[in-house]
Amino acid sequence: MKMVFMRRFPRALAGLIAVLAVLATSACATGAAAAGAKPGQLLIVTAFYPFQFVAQRIAGPHAHVTSLTKPGAEPHDLELTPRQVASIYDADLVIYQRYFQAAVDDAVAENGNAHGKDNLLDTADFVPLEDHGPLGEENDDPDDRAGTTNLDPHVWLDPSHMITITQAVDRRLDQIDPAHRADYNRNAAGLITQLKSLDAEYRTGLATCKRTEFITTHAAFGYLAERYGLQQISVTGLSPDTEPSPARIAQVQQLAKTHGVTTIFYETLISPAIARSIAGDLGLRTDVLDPIEGITSQSRGDNYIAVMKSNLTALQRANECS
Ligand SMILES: [Zn+2]
């Protein structure tokens, strides 16, 4: 408990200072401008990359869209700067998912938003988080709420859930900025068409495979697996920075043999060392399955749709789909 207090206190203090700073300057509306919005543009603050992608595609030039999680950073253990806490308060729209990033939940709970609660969009209201069962190691970090409750945050890896999120963001933007409603509706419809064809590619691409089991280091693919009839076996749990025990590694190696698995997947933001050692012992390949928690120069594609297609190709190769 002491650790939790020590870790939370500076965050709360930073939030208070940030909001006092915002209140001192709010009369001249410098907040949105300070965050990079041009005159006439909305400021949309998103918690991490897939929400940033959706917001940019729908809002186009009508908004400046930021992500609280920087490219290449781990979204699971996000800490916010005072400036970011202030941007959550200032933004015309905040898009986040509760129970995933405690720092964002705390900033929203403590300060709210200057424009009102309709300007805070919690995607978990539209796509409820699910518990995907035993996911490897127990997470004993008391500060990791998703780990404690075992709720899987990775809803964006299911294109159907991305469609629901797109519709929710579109409706909220219509309400906040009705002058540009026609543009938002058209852009959202275009994105939904792309997401539907991505879903169709996954359905046909994974329909006939030699096996349904796949092994990944971090358990990010529960929603994707459920949607397309796959079985995810994860080495660690929902948080990517958990160290697996030797017992868990032995268990996973046994499962790999049982199911004739060809590939141990790892992800772009995390060291491939665990995957390589498991694969090496069994003479298997390693490959990337990207949880799309950020786009970097290492990503196999420059946006959500492109990386989802790379993930499909990797799954088809690993599971020998025809
Ligand atoms: Zn993750």
Residue range 2-198, CATH number: 3.40.50.1980
CA of 183 to the centre of ligand 1 (A): 32
How is residue 151 written in tokens? Answer: 């709720």
Q: What percent of the chain has pLDDT over 90?
A: 71
CA of 25 to the centre of ligand 1 (A): 36
Q: State the fold for domain 206-319.
A: Rossmann fold (3.40.50)
Grouping H, G, I as helix, E, B as strand and the rest as coil, residue 226 is: helix
pLDDT tens-digit profile of 288-313?
Answer: 999 999 999 999 999 999 999 999 99
CA distances, 244 to each of 38, 78, 110, 203 (Å): 47, 22, 35, 32
The answer to whether residues 88 and 111 touch, using CB atoms and an 8 Å cutoff, is yes
What gap in Å lies between CA 43 and CA 40, rounded to an integer?
A: 10
What gap in Å lies between CA 142 and CA 7, rounded to an integer?
A: 11
CA of 74 to the centre of ligand 1 (A): 8
**DSSP bridge partners of 45:** 66, 94
CA of 94 to the centre of ligand 1 (A): 20
pLDDT reported for residue 11: 53
Give the mean pLDDT of 42-46: 98
CA of 152 to the centre of ligand 1 (A): 8
How is residue 10 written in tokens? Answer: 């500076």
What gap in Å lies between CA 173 and CA 165, rounded to an integer?
A: 12
Sign of CA dihedral 314, 316, 320, 322: negative
- For residue 43, is pLDDT > 90? yes
pLDDT band at 134 (very low <50, low <70, confident <90, very high): low
Domain coordinates of the chain in residue numbers? Answer: 2-198, 206-319
The answer to whether residues 290 and 300 touch, using CB atoms and an 8 Å cutoff, is yes
pLDDT reported for residue 63: 98
The answer to whether residues 35 and 90 touch, using CB atoms and an 8 Å cutoff, is yes
Q: DSSP label at 244?
A: P
pLDDT reported for residue 14: 55
CA of 212 to the centre of ligand 1 (A): 21
What gap in Å lies between CA 190 and CA 184, rounded to an integer?
A: 10
The amino acid that residue 321 corresponds to is: C
CA of 77 to the centre of ligand 1 (A): 10
CA of 150 to the centre of ligand 1 (A): 12
Report which listed range, 8-12, 168-172, 266-270, is most confident: 168-172
pLDDT reported for residue 267: 87
What gap in Å lies between CA 90 and CA 64, rounded to an integer?
A: 13
pLDDT tens-digit profile of 102-120?
Answer: 999 999 999 999 999 999 9
How is residue 97 written in tokens? Answer: 């998912």
CA of 102 to the centre of ligand 1 (A): 14
How is residue 203 written in tokens? Answer: 């359905």
pLDDT tens-digit profile of 222-270?
Answer: 999 999 999 999 998 777 777 888 999 999 999 999 999 999 999 877 7
CA of 220 to the centre of ligand 1 (A): 5
- For residue 29, is pLDDT > 80? no
pLDDT reported for residue 93: 98
On the question of a common fold for 2-198 and 206-319, the answer reads yes
pLDDT reported for residue 236: 84
- For residue 137, is pLDDT > 70? no
CA of 264 to the centre of ligand 1 (A): 17
CA of 175 to the centre of ligand 1 (A): 31
CA of 218 to the centre of ligand 1 (A): 7
Q: DSSP label at 322?
A: -
